[in-house]
Amino acid sequence: MSQRISDMAWWGWGAPERAQTLSPEMRGLLHDALGVRANGPARPRLEDLHPPDSRLPAALVERLTGVVGPGHVSHESEARIRHLRGKSTPDLLALRLGDLADTPDAVVWPASHEEILELLRVCSAERIAVVPFGGGTSVVGGLAPGRAGCRGAVALDLGRLNHLLELDEISRLAILEPGLRGPEAEAQLAERGYTLGHFPQSFEFASIGGFAATRSSGQASAGYGRFDECVVALTAATPRGTVELGQAPKSAAGPDLRQLFLGSEGTLGVITSLTAEVRLAPADRRYEGWRVPDFGAGTGVVRRLIQDGPVPTVLRLSDEIETALNLARPETMGAGGGSGCLLIAGWEGSSDQVEAAAQATHRILREAGGDPVDRAGPEWAAGRYAAPYLRDALLDAGALVETLETACFWSRVPDLYEGVRQALARALEGAGTPPVVLCHISHVYRSGASLYFTVACAQAEDPLAQWRQAKAAASDAILAAGGSITHHHGIGTEHRPWYHRQLGDLPLAALRAVKRELDPAGILNPGVLV
């Protein structure tokens, strides 16, 4: 069944063979800087985990098998545990602490839109919750729904819907199935000379359907846009039937209802195919690191670039602490060590385009007091998907590590930056552990930016409660400073209370009215989002 089950480690991030271990120096740093004194709860072994018995009656398993065919339904422990929750730090801690309460009762692998329609009909009639499962990379509790009112829950693994259905080279559009992983989609498009240009940190494992259902944003969003901006049409299966939306690149035909399914996180329907813009695969890619004097100056120059151009394909800016911690090695940063702030700028296109854009950007970076840091750009590119691997090793060692992100208009960036840092520091000092809070500007727009925070401290006795308190404080601070509760991670269950506060009663009522219309039995990812 290997082709149908996530290749990710079921206990942590990514490919198991790439798991990291901590050097003695790093362990020393955890001890000295964060006050880490004891290992955290250990990674569980599969044979020690005994999920609750499946609540699906045999007759129902037979019905589901009748829809998808023999061998495509499983209620074995391993399959169920591999579809248990996502990859947030609370998800990983819950597993380490032996909490298997959210384990789905079965996993179903449909192969077509029609099979999904039929599964949703059956599960609606039987009141079985359905959790669409793509790459399994949610970091916001998007795969840990409640089951209020449902008799059980099945994970709907989309891994068999993994085809590039059509490539329209005139319109530069690809019709893609939702279970395609990022690298699979890129490999098939590359054979024809195209790319989606969508490279989030989860790229290696996340799926096309997940990109759309969570409004994913990639590291090259300055050049290629967000994934939701690339989706011009989609087909979804709902408990009440098929929805097909989108005939044109843009339209004035009423409200844009594609935008209801983008970001719907599996609560309104299952996206069974989508039409996305593709670009010519770039002949050249160049990523550079530049040191700018401080976070304020760096914020000013990334704002200037995105507002007045030339706009790089990749544009990111680490604050002083992230720069110092991640890049203090002299072999990267040169004589200046970790002082100032590291800015990453990247360009993709023809060699001429890359050269011209890079030169024009250099002038502006130098005006802002920037200096090139030769190795930082290639190092960033080489490690761009690797950061989450470190978390599992840090959790082993007794550190608590998590990330969170937001976006706001440029004029609010300074207050939001300070507000979230202070909230995290205060919440985690309260637990007796001085935290380290890092931040970078991860995505830029003409009117604002996304701030991405990483926080690390020593685990308290109850690390889950410790993190929940800190996350609540950070989320309160985000709302207080006028930021969005999420820029690209999504809502899931973790952001839901703040999402509802931010949205307001009337928009939430409107969204729930849509949900009732499309999913009257309330079986789709209950407790997520709405």
Query: Closest approach of Cβ 25 to a copy of itself, in Å?
Result: 36
Q: Which of 414, 222, 217, 202 is nearest to 316 (CA)?
A: 222
Count other C-beta atoms under 10 Å from residue 2's C-beta: 6
Query: Closest approach of Cβ 123 to a copy of itself, in Å?
Result: 18
The rounded distance, in Å, linking the Cα atoms of 479 and 457 is: 24
Query: Closest approach of Cβ 509 to a copy of itself, in Å?
Result: 5
What does each C-alpha distance from 1 to 41, 79, 160 come to in angstroms?
30, 9, 11
Count other C-beta atoms under 10 Å from residue 19's C-beta: 17
Question: Of 35 and 482, which CB lies nearer to a copy of itself in the complex structure?
Answer: 482
Query: Closest approach of Cβ 494 to a copy of itself, in Å?
Result: 12
Q: What are phi and psi of 202, to 5 degrees?
A: -85, 5
Query: Closest approach of Cβ 432 to a copy of itself, in Å?
Result: 33
- Positive/negative CA dihedral, 47, 9, 210, 405: positive
Question: Of 20 and 275, which CB lies nearer to a copy of itself in the complex structure?
Answer: 275
Question: Of 397 and 407, which CB lies nearer to a copy of itself in the complex structure?
Answer: 407
Query: Closest approach of Cβ 17 to a copy of itself, in Å?
Result: 31
The rounded distance, in Å, linking the Cα atoms of 247 and 233 is: 7
Q: For residue 461, what are the contacts with CB-CB under 8 A and spacing of at least 6?
A: none
Count other C-beta atoms under 10 Å from residue 257's C-beta: 14
Question: Of 173 and 220, which CB lies nearer to a copy of itself in the complex structure?
Answer: 173
The rounded distance, in Å, linking the Cα atoms of 438 and 506 is: 36
Query: Closest approach of Cβ 97 to a copy of itself, in Å?
Result: 28
Count other C-beta atoms under 10 Å from residue 99's C-beta: 15
Q: Which of 435, 442, 503 is nearest to 473 (CA)?
A: 435
Contact 458, 433 (CB under 8 A): yes
The rounded distance, in Å, linking the Cα atoms of 486 and 138 is: 13
Question: Of 45 and 250, which CB lies nearer to a copy of itself in the complex structure?
Answer: 250
Question: Of 11 and 211, which CB lies nearer to a copy of itself in the complex structure?
Answer: 211
Question: Of 228 and 402, which CB lies nearer to a copy of itself in the complex structure?
Answer: 228
Query: Closest approach of Cβ 353 to a copy of itself, in Å?
Result: 8
The rounded distance, in Å, linking the Cα atoms of 44 and 126 is: 34
Question: Of 29 and 503, which CB lies nearer to a copy of itself in the complex structure?
Answer: 503
Residues linked to residue 455 through DSSP beta bridges, in sequence order: 402, 437
Query: Closest approach of Cβ 526 to a copy of itself, in Å?
Result: 15
Query: Closest approach of Cβ 444 to a copy of itself, in Å?
Result: 9
Helix (H, G, I), strand (E, B) or coil at 453: strand
Tokens describing residue 229: 């901006």
Question: Of 428 and 491, which CB lies nearer to a copy of itself in the complex structure?
Answer: 491
Question: Of 109 and 205, which CB lies nearer to a copy of itself in the complex structure?
Answer: 205
My answer on whether omega of the bond before 310 falls inside 30° of 0, hence cis, is yes
The rounded distance, in Å, linking the Cα atoms of 224 and 216 is: 12
